[in-house]
Amino acid sequence: MVDTLDLPRPFSADTFCAHLSRQRRRPINVHAFPPAALGNSACGLWLATETDDHIFFETRTTPLHQEHIIMHEIAHLLFDHGSSPASPEAGLADVFTDLSPGTVRRLLGRTSYTTVQEQEAEMLASLIKTAADRPRSSPSAGVLGNLEAALGVGGPHAR
């Protein structure tokens, strides 16, 4: 999945979301959790409607962690993970009072890492950031290039 992404340089969650929005022709809006949601156990949330995607993140953490939360939610979006029902049981109906349940097509909140989807999203978020932080360099040739590719640090097939 990471190899299929065109990561903007310099990288940030904001530039990546803007890039994906243009590529998908579908807006991705990033928001801090509303104050009413801060008691909820989720630290990140992806909400999809018919026309756009909304990513919410916890503000009471470090900027690096906030970026990771956003990338985790982007990973759910990229994997097209299934949703939990947008219902009062989701604990967020009181927070998003201006959205009708019929408008919400997908709602994923991050509260734990026990499901395969959460583990996939967590791993992809980390891999995207690792790939974005890796300096772009010309691949080495020959044996050195093959060794770099095998270790994932360079070469034509690095991940």
pTM recorded for the entire structure: 0.71
Least confident residue range of 49-58, 64-73, 76-85: 76-85
Q: For residue 30, how many other CB atoms are within 10 A of its CB?
A: 17
What are the extents of the domains in the chain? 2-151
104-110 and 53-57 strand pairing: unpaired
124-141 pLDDT tens trace? 999 999 999 887 666 677
